[in-house]
Amino acid sequence: MQKTGFEKKFNIGLTLDTNIKEFRRFLEAYHPYIRSIYFSLPLSKKFHTRQLIAKQLLFPHKRILFWKMLKEAKAYGVELELLFNTLTLDEELIALASKELKKRQIEVDSVCFLQAYYPFVEKYFPDKKYIWSFNNGMRSLKAFDEAIEGRKIDAVVLGSVFIRDNEAFRYIKEKGKEIILLLNNSCSFNCATCASTSPLCQETFDKNHEKYSVEYLYALQSIFPQELRDGTIEAGLIDCFKISNRGSKLSFVQNSMDSYMRGEILPYLETDCNAYAYWGRAGFFWKYFSKMDFAKVVKYKEEILGHSLDIK
């Protein structure tokens, strides 16, 4: 198999919009590039931020598929990352998660969680890799220092305002922590909705859109494959690239990974305007994809980055 530089570099979400045979074919082709798969358990709606997934898991055949997919991923050497990143969990639910995984004989490798759940994660998942969730809304290195003080934190998920902050990457690496970069979430830089009472992400986008064009905001908040190659983002500092894909078909994550590995954009946009989501998937952008001017996106992105882009 040809080397791409992305071997064991991707962290992807478990999607239930598939079947076990299709998922097995996907793993057969892509497991060399996938470090881990992240997921929320089918035990309560409180584990889920995406209502589509919560609704899917109401069906028995989807719950059966869910557990089969976890075991299939393990069989291909893919790590399992358990999520506790919603706001309404408690010790009882986290204890239930531990009990259910033991009953199912499923060994997770890491736990990604909100700060409030640290004592419960430490109690019920003492020997796992601990990942500081993007949903903690960390927006400064001071917040990072406060997060790791007195806690066993092995990795942090960065996105939003941090996506091109190489100085922050170096600082975090010097502290001995792994960096997981959220490539295609395209959150507003001035929004911390996921872990605070800030305005909803749509409202934040709308306010930003009053000042800036949608092409500018997309250029600012998305990550093109070229940015991982031209030094904009020092990819060598990043341990893992996180793809936002839950609720989508396997073809979505496949195309997004392919695009980043191949450094290509145009072949995808030429066939589907919604391909913009491969590099910036936030929900507030979708209705604009069919109207967005790609030339303007590239122009703005080059202005933001301070150099030209080799668009392919």
For position 271, which CATH number holds?
Answer: 3.20.20.120
Residue 139's pLDDT band (cuts 50, 70, 90): confident
Q: Is residue 2 part of a domain?
A: no
C-alpha pair distances (Å), 26 with each of 67, 79, 98, 156, 249: 17, 15, 28, 27, 11
Residue showing tokens 């078909």: 249
Residue 236 near residue 166, CB atoms below 8 Å: no
Residue 4 within any structural domain of the chain:
no
Beta strand segments in 119-198, E:
129-132, 155-158, 178-182
- How far apart are alpha carbons 36 and 129 in whole angstroms? 12
3 within domain boundaries: no
pLDDT in tens, 108-128: 999 999 999 999 999 999 999
Domain count, the chain: 1
**Closest by alpha carbon to 47, among 93, 110, 101?**
93
Q: Is residue 311 part of a domain?
A: no
**How do residues 241-288 score in pLDDT, each as one tens digit?**
999 999 899 999 999 999 999 999 999 999 999 999 999 999 999 999
Q: For residues 185 and 124, what is the distance between their CA atoms, to the nearest angstrom?
A: 30
What whole-number distance in Å separates Cα of residue 22 and Cα of residue 253?
13
Does 312 reside within a domain?
no
Full residue range of the structural domain in which residue 175 is found: 10-305
Tell me the per-residue pLDDT of 161-211, one tens digit each, with 9 for 90 and over: 999 999 999 999 999 999 999 999 999 998 866 755 455 788 899 999 999
